[in-house]
Amino acid sequence: MQPSLFFDFALRNVRLHWFRSLLAIIGIVIGVVAIVSMGILGNSLVLAISDSLSTVGDSVIITPHAGGMGGFGPGGSKELLTERMIEQIRRAVAPDTTIPIYSGSSRMTIGTEDTVGVVYGIKPDDIPILLEIEDGAYLKGSSGAMAGARFAEENNLKVGSRITIKDKGSLRVVGILKERGMGFDINPDYGIVVEDKWYQQSYNQQDYDMAIVKVRDLTRIEQTKEVIEKQLNRRETEVDVIDTKAILETLLTTFGQISTFTTAIGGISLIVAGVSILNIMMMSVTERIKEIGVLRSIGTQRREVRSIFLYEALILGLIGSIIGGLLSIFGGYAISLLMLETTEYLFVPSSLIYIVYGIGFGIGTSLLSGLYPAWKASNLNPIEALRHE
Amino acid sequence: MSAPPGDEAIIQFRDVTKIYPLPGGDVVALDHVSISLYPGDFIAIMGPSGSGKSTLLNLMGCLDTPTSGTLFIKGKDVSSMTDEEQTGLRRDHIGFIFQQFNLIPLLSALENVQYPLILKTGDRTCSLQCVEVLRSMDLEEHLFTHKPSELSGGQQQRVAIARALVNDPEILLADEPTGNLDTKTGTAIMDLLKDLNEKKGKTIIMVTHDPGVAKFAHRIIRIVDGKIS
Ligand SMILES: Nc1ncnc2c1ncn2[C@@H]1O[C@H](COP(=O)(O)OP(=O)(O)O)[C@@H](O)[C@H]1O
Ligand SMILES: [Mg+2]
């Protein structure tokens, strides 16, 4: 029962000085809205970027070591992965699949239009492992090609359209690929995929540009990477090996830091709100020195005086934080729409949790700001407080 | 002092000195004071302004502790008590009546009276007992719900006395209780205090300038420059 008496005191004082209390509450509301909106923005940003990444962290990517001597003579020809190296990789990672890949780019003619696109040469059997199909069929013969989603869209390609590659011949589109998004291995959205043999002949190239190993057991990805490096880089560094899981993790950590940073910016406005509560509570204490003296002289304990002021801070913080929490749904909506042009990442748990954080921080900041004034009030000397005018 | 044999002193000063250290030099507010007060006493403290009357009363009320010497209240050495114990003593055994009335502005008349009782018992449903005490102060019932700012000085002092009495303390301390009241109202308040002393056996110590008010007391303690004369 006793606490409610002091709570009542606090409530009455908040109401008596309603305008001042209102200002403090507005401060907290703004602080909470800022911290939550920034948090939601940061989180939505991370979600949006992760969504546009095609790669799940299940691949190991092997590329020729840049700047190495690769075995080619002078003339500056680029380094490649030889058939022998591919075999070594294949044996090392078995039973996981190794997919050797040719990649280059070419001028093409579609209808009457000239354009440039990326060209990937992949063995038809391996294509379904890497890429999903939107329309048509997977590649079978050597006279066909599959078009990336964006490339098809931009050039009005349909199943059955023809693409003429300068000097190399003409290919019929047998399938359109699903949009894949940003990838760490291959990015066929803006190009075409052809048969490996066709690529070999047309570009007169035997060795591969890169290889992808699909790892079935994700816990073994590190190990797989090490095995490959041990096999090929024993004497000198011949290949660079990266695993997409590590890249993904680094990226997500970076985004997490960005998100924390934006939230911290919101936090600054909460600190400002905290200072305004501190200021208002100090005013309240100074104005009520005599009253505190009376309370103490008729038998109110120090901790009871302290609780009156802490309750006051709590009331301000609670009202401000809850209003702020509600408003920040709109704030988050507005800022998502403005910055990301989508609100699809707003009503997901990892975004909404920021409302809980925001309310928590709002109440915490208020209580923290009330601590010093409450301590000050409870430690006043009763006689001096009574003599105070 | 005339100690009735066999009766314990309720308040006892033994060679008490109170010094306020100030930047401009120490102020000796009480200078080696030794007095004993007994249950049922009605005492008036008189003396010129700044002579240490309020300091004496504040020490009796456990609001402050002596710089040197010992002060016993109800047999206990005040200096050996913690702040919490001193506060508890004020709440349960001492009633304060101030010249400025000092009611709590946020609370109504009745709530002001309830406040010390709630502090003591933690029970907020104690209005009956409080109404009883407030009625015995001859305060009109329709004023019970008024805030202190809506009451006259005499009415406020009645509420303040009711507040001082509600925990049934043995000791009432009054610092110029009639100082802010006209003669007629002051006399009515003094009649109330006299009644409390005679009928309820309260020990009353009051500070006053007014010889007419001091007449109500059994004994007058005169103080000049912090010394009892
Ligand atoms: N809290 C205090 N701090 C400093 N000086 C004080 C304090 N209280 C009282 N004094 C000084 O002690 C002396 C006695 O004061 P007080 O007991 O209030 O006198 P009275 O009540 O008789 O007018 C005065 O000189 C006063 O200025
Ligand atoms: Mg005085």
Q: Residue A99 is encoded by which pair of tokens?
A: 């997919």
pLDDT at A2 over 80: no
- Answer yes or no: are the C-beta atoms of A248 and A340 closer than 8 Å: no
pLDDT value, residue A78: 65
B3 pLDDT tier (thresholds 50, 70, 90)? very low
Nearest CA in chain B to A1: B122
- Interface contact flag, B102 A386, Cβ < 8 Å: yes
- Picking from B58, B106, B118, the nearest residue to A13 by CB comes out as B106
Q: How far apart are CA A288 and CA A17, in angstroms?
A: 12
Task: Delimit the domains of chain B by residue range.
Answer: 41-57+90-228
pLDDT value, residue A75: 39
pLDDT tens-digit series, residues A22-72: 999 999 999 999 999 888 888 888 888 777 665 566 788 898 887 645 444
Q: How far is the CA of A110 from the centre of ligand 2 (A)?
A: 105
This prediction's pTM = 0.76
Among residues B55, B62, B2, which one has the least CA distance to residue B30?
A: B55
| A289: CB partners within 8 A, 6+ apart | A380, A385, A388
Helix (H, G, I), strand (E, B) or coil at B187: helix
pLDDT at A332 over 50: yes
Q: How far apart are CA A313 and CA A293, in angstroms?
A: 20
Model ipTM? 0.93
Q: How far apart are CA B151 and CA A245, in angstroms?
A: 78
Any ligand 1 atom below 6 A from CB of A265: no
pLDDT value, residue A67: 62
- Picking from A5, A300, A383, the nearest residue to B124 by CB comes out as A5
- Mutation choice for ligand 1 from B18, B19, B20, B227, CB with most ligand atoms inside 8 A: B20
Residue of higher predicted confidence among A143 and B92? B92
pLDDT tens-digit series, residues B54-105: 999 999 999 999 999 999 999 999 999 999 999 999 999 999 999 999 999 9
Q: How far apart are CA A64 and CA A48, in angstroms?
A: 32
Calculate the CA dihedral of residues B46, B52, B56, B57 and round it to 10 degrees.
70
pLDDT value, residue A76: 43
Class for domain B41-57+90-228, per CATH? alpha beta
CA-to-CA separations, A282 to A289, A309, A349, in angstroms, rounded: 11, 10, 39
Task: Delimit the domains of chain A by residue range.
Answer: 3-52+249-387, 59-214
Across chain A, what does the average pLDDT equal?
Answer: 86
Any ligand 1 atom below 6 A from CB of A384: yes
pLDDT tens-digit series, residues A173-208: 999 998 887 777 888 888 899 999 999 988 888 899
Size of interface A-B (CB pairs under 8 A): 66
Percentage with pLDDT > 90 across chain A: 35
- Answer yes or no: are the C-beta atoms of A326 and A33 closer than 8 Å: no
Helix (H, G, I), strand (E, B) or coil at B123: coil
Q: Residue B119 is encoded by which pair of tokens?
A: 């502090």
Among residues A216, A217, A247, A209, which one has the least CA distance to residue A86?
A: A209
Ligand 1 atom 7, closest CA? B20
pLDDT at A10 over 80: yes
pLDDT tens-digit series, residues A260-295: 888 888 888 888 888 888 988 899 899 999 999 999
CA-to-CA separations, B222 to A114, B10, B63, B201, B226, in angstroms, rounded: 116, 20, 22, 24, 10
- Mutation choice for ligand 1 from B16, B46, B55, CB with most ligand atoms inside 8 A: B55
Distance between A1 CA and the closest CA of chain B, angstroms: 6
Report residue A162: phi and psi, to 5°: -115, 140
pLDDT value, residue A221: 83
Report residue A317: phi and psi, to 5°: -65, -40
Q: Residue B226: how many CA atoms within 13 Å on its side-chain side?
A: 14
- Picking from B106, B120, B167, the nearest residue to A12 by CB comes out as B106
Burial of B74 (0-12, 13-18, 19+ CB in 10 A): middle
Closest-approaching ligand to the CA atom of B45:
1
Burial of A161 (0-12, 13-18, 19+ CB in 10 A): middle
Q: Give the residue-averaged pLDDT of A67-90.
A: 68
Any ligand 1 atom below 6 A from CB of B202: no
Give alpha helix (H) positions in chain A: 2-16, 18-52, 83-93, 127-130, 149-154, 196-203, 221-232, 244-287, 289-297, 302-340, 349-378, 382-387
pLDDT tens-digit series, residues A292-328: 999 999 999 999 999 999 999 999 999 999 999 999 9
